[in-house]
Structure 1
Amino acid sequence: MYRNRRAKIVATIGPASSSPDMLKRLFEAGVDTFRMNFSHGSHQDHAAVFRAIRTLEKEMGCPIGILQDLQGPKIRVGQIPNGRMTVKTGDTLRFCLSTDDHAGAILLPHREIYTAVTAGDDLLIDDGRVRVRVLDAKAEVLETVVIVGGIISDRKGVNIPNAVLDISPLTTKDRRDLEFGLELGVDWVALSFVQKASDLAEARSLISQRAGLIAKIEKPSALIEIDSIIQLADGIMVARGDLGVEIPPEDVPGRQKELVRACRAAEKPVIVATQMLDSMISAPTPTRAEATDVAMAVYDGADAVMLSAETAAGIYPVETVEIMDRIIRSTENHKFYKSLMADADFNDPLSVPQAVASVAADLATSIGAPLIAAFTSSGMTAARVARKRPALPILAITPVEIVARQLCLLWGAVSIHSKDITTYEQAVSQARTIGSALKLVGEKDNIVVVASVPFGHTGTTNSLRVV
């Protein structure tokens, strides 16, 4: 399906959007990839959604991506006496691994915290609504002072911005969920709580090539190793919820731009996520600030923008997707957008495959071609063209079904799953047939074809023709 926009839309599925009818309405409104959030719902629920999406895919006759988002470890306080307590600035609090010998202390049952934090570190409770500072850290006890007071209630989350915890991003639950998702056939797996590049190794060993691996960037420590993380991952999610708790909120926009640019340079898709149209959970229209937020992610060059609770639990899931689609289209049609995309200069030496793809993008623009046909087995040829952000569609044609679905996240890609080809004549014929069917190519139009020759070889991107 050709949507006549470059940035993609990811929508989270939940109680408000899990029926086959609603999934179809969301797809028709503009969703390119559906996110299954394994922090909620049973395996049975997710399996039903997965089957419904694959049925919809057959009905619509085009690839649809499915992203499995793993919950990751959750750091939480334990049970609070009477369910909640109010603390004031200046109060002293004791956190303990076990409260058996510490009456009045707050249970924090995560041994990794006690070995990682030091005096001066802050603990942020309930998304930072309460902030305490560590005065003294012992093996099983933390003495703290309240910096920002408020209410602490049962099982509220705890963020520790300045500490790297000795904890795997994959819990026992995550491993079960991951194997289930891979058996279903998800296209992408998003890994939560990535602190360092080595955190990706375990997930990669379990996933292998069965799905693409997306690293969620939500910890300050991940920003320190971001170049290595991007190299090891297949894509990145800018998870601004937890990231915005753990770093100053005024730093989030700049970090977002850095991450988008780094992923574009590395030819990896990047998703900007969290609270994009948050008010539409309960309102039929977004705030002007939210519309601007989505537009700024598009101006940054993000491959995809993501909806969370807006489509999972909101009252207006379809309307939210429609408005996000309209914001993207309007932004991409603005006079500043094309110049912003074209002006990016990465100042890095290009490999031969990158140079061929870059020239293809420039050439297609110069001759007024209606599209670039990128024949790809791994998706890399299309990704190399997309790095240039050309102002025309990238017809990404692949014989590999999972690659076609993964390309539903790639900027500018019109993803096509097709029969394998072995000659340039077949490639040209197929590009013209598909382009005509999508009403993108006229009889006298020139199109640019870029591929790896011999066909079927991955990673080379060594051939460019105008036909």
Structure 2
Amino acid sequence: MTGSESLDFIKKELISLEKNMAAEVANKSGIIESLHKDQKEAGKNLVEYLSVRNRDLRILQDALHIHGLSSLASSESHIRRQVQAILERLGETIPTEHIDICDFSFSKKKIDEKSHLLFGNKTIPSIPSLMVTFDSGFADSYALIKSLLENGMNVARINCAHDDEATWSKMINKLRKASKRTGIDCKVYMDLAGPKIRTVLLGKGKDKGKVKVKEGELIWLAEEAKGFGQDDVVISPNVPGIIGFLKKGDRVYIDDGVIRATVEKTKSGKAGIRITRISSEKSQIKAEKGINFPDTLIQIPSLTDFDKACLPFICENADLVGYSFVRNAADISNLQTELTAISETPPLMIVKIETPEAVSNLPSLLMEGMKQKAFGVMIARGDLAVEIGFERMGEIQEEILWICEAAHVPVVWATQVLESLNKSGMATRSEITDAGQSANAECVMINKGDHTIEVMETLKDILQRSAEHRVKKRFRFRQLKIAERFLKS
């Protein structure tokens, strides 16, 4: 047996891990003490987990596995107690006063309690809660809303980027009526619109709402059409000040990354971008399509004036508020201040992770959110995939799940769940596999579509089958840069 596989090696490494955990908890004691009293153990466990993930433990994990011991995988929610338990199996005596109370049962209970606060009662205890996105058609369809409740909807999602207060009121009133008649509880979740970075055509194609483009073409981003020729393609990103943050070489993605470009030149109030790829047979840019700037640190408020105007209605009618395009802890603090100024019992917050900056700052975001009794995280995979690159999406969503599990923070798995089935009535094979992965979250969000009931039935079947086979999977602990950044901060 090699040295790296010996029991002495394992014991030495585990003792070192526990010492590091204690040291990091001491370093972050001020942050932990600032948390809500019901979140302090979770905050401590998060720091301990990040301490572990700041090292490459793959050799240790292999050694543990060889000896039939826990490899620490799936121990995110109770990492220190798991290390202590292995040491006890190896003959070490842990003083009673040092035994961590945050064990598997404790952490599971805490996550379940917070999930219940956020998402309410589940009709099927073994699967995640189900969130369904409403659209304007729901305002006049009591029968559909009642059917959704009877088929397992736990949370109704209303996107404040669409419709108005009158329409939202109709949706909520019909939901309350259906809930009362069926005896089935349902939470109301309202999504703040956030900064709408959308295409506005200023020059060529403005009248038609679309303009032809081709790969290799230089087009312009600007806030006004002044100074351009009639044949120039000029697009406004619709949010003042963004263009000033662009620098040469920055990538620009339009329409969920269908059109990709690179900043080639910058001038006062405008930027020339060269189209590098068009992933569509229709080589055109339409108005009102999203624009992403994955390389650019854009310093604009996550909470817009429109969002603030929506808050009184949300505080009066919603159980949960979704916060779009959060970037740092100050964003969460700002929204909480606005909410508490309106209501003594404001809706609980769901923080949407959809930018690279939010991913990098995830531990700090969690710590800020944990100043409240309960809050959640949504993996908003649509914008996030465009921002970080589709090829990294699988890796990043796993990291978010691990870190939120360590913080005992419930997660909503969102965007394009069984999307083809919802739109066309036929699911793709990869969608079925993806839906199975969503079993690792506490809630799954379904977008609007023509086949929502069928999607819910299919999703429930997939999730129940997944629940019979697993709770979590075994992962290998290479070093996480997220952990390194947080511990050094």
Q: TM-score range by the shorter chain?
A: 0.5 to 0.7
Instruction: Tell me by how many angstroms 1:105 deviates.
Output: 4.9
Relative to its length, the structure with more strand (as a share) is 1
Hey, what does 1:147 align to over in structure 2? 276
Instruction: Tell me by how many angstroms 1:77 deviates.
Output: 2.7
Query: Which aligned pairs between 1:254-403 and structure 2 lie closer than 5 A?
Result: 254-298=395-439, 301-309=440-448, 314-334=449-469, 337-338=470-471, 340=472
Q: Note the residue ranges of structure 2 that are not aligned, 5 or more in a row.
A: 1-121, 370-374, 478-489
Q: Secondary structure at the match of 1:282?
A: helix
Q: What's the RMSD between the two structures over aligned residues?
A: 2.1
Q: Note the residue ranges of structure 1 that are not aligned, 5 or more in a row.
A: 347-467
1:81 and 2:210 matched: no
Hey, what does 1:244 align to over in structure 2? 385
Instruction: Tell me by how many angstroms 1:271 deviates.
Output: 0.4
Hey, what does 1:177 align to over in structure 2? 310
Q: In structure 2, which of residues 318, 325, 338 is the aligned counterpart of residue 206 of structure 1?
A: 338
Between the aligned residues of both structures, percent identity stands at 28
CA distance in 1 between partners of 2:183 and 2:320 (Å): 20
CA distance in 1 between partners of 2:403 and 2:182 (Å): 34
Q: In structure 2, which of residues 233, 236, 248 is the aligned counterpart of residue 119 of structure 1?
A: 248
Hey, what does 1:43 align to over in structure 2? 165
CA distance in 1 between partners of 2:273 and 2:304 (Å): 28
Cα deviation, 1:421-467, whole Å, max 9, x if unaligned, reads: xxxxxxxxxxxxxxxxxxxxxxxxxxxxxxxxxxxxxxxxxxxxxxx
Instruction: Tell me by how many angstroms 1:12 deviates.
Output: 0.6
Residues 45 and 332 of structure 1: is their aligned pair in 2 closer, same or farther, counting only changes over 3 Å?
A: same
Q: Secondary structure at the match of 1:123?
A: strand
Residues 138 and 268 of structure 1: is their aligned pair in 2 closer, same or farther, counting only changes over 3 Å?
A: same
Cα deviation, 1:164-216, whole Å, max 9, x if unaligned, reads: 212112222211222211122x1110011112222222211112341111111
1:136 and 2:260 matched: no
Aligned amino acid, residue 106 of structure 1: V
CA distance in 2 between partners of 1:316 and 1:327 (Å): 16
CA distance in 2 between partners of 1:303 and 1:160 (Å): 30
Contact 2:138 2:171 in 1 (8 A): no
1:96 and 2:222 matched: yes
Contact 1:164 1:195 in 2 (8 A): no
Q: Secondary structure at the match of 2:200?
A: coil
CA distance in 1 between partners of 2:162 and 2:222 (Å): 29
CA distance in 1 between partners of 2:200 and 2:450 (Å): 32
Contact 1:16 1:315 in 2 (8 A): no
Hey, what does 1:228 align to over in structure 2? 364
Q: TM-score, normalised by structure 2?
A: 0.65
Instruction: Tell me by how many angstroms 1:85 deviates.
Output: 2.3
Q: Which has the higher contact order (CA 8 A, sep 6+)?
A: 2
Residues 93 and 30 of structure 1: is their aligned pair in 2 closer, same or farther, counting only changes over 3 Å?
A: same
Relative to its length, the structure with more helix (as a share) is 2
Instruction: Tell me by how many angstroms 1:227 deviates.
Output: 0.8
Aligned amino acid, residue 320 of structure 1: V
Paired residues, what number? 335
CA distance in 1 between partners of 2:221 and 2:259 (Å): 14
Contact 1:121 1:133 in 2 (8 A): yes
Aligned amino acid, residue 129 of structure 1: V
Instruction: Tell me by how many angstroms 1:249 deviates.
Output: 0.7
1:3 and 2:116 matched: no
Query: Which aligned pairs between 1:400-419 and structure 2 lie closer than 5 A?
Result: none
* More moved, 56-65 vs 230-239: 56-65
Aligned amino acid, residue 304 of structure 1: C
CA distance in 2 between partners of 1:180 and 1:268 (Å): 26
Instruction: Tell me by how many angstroms 1:115 deviates.
Output: 2.3
Aligned amino acid, residue 96 of structure 1: A
Instruction: Tell me by how many angstroms 1:321 deviates.
Output: 1.1
Contact 1:197 1:222 in 2 (8 A): no
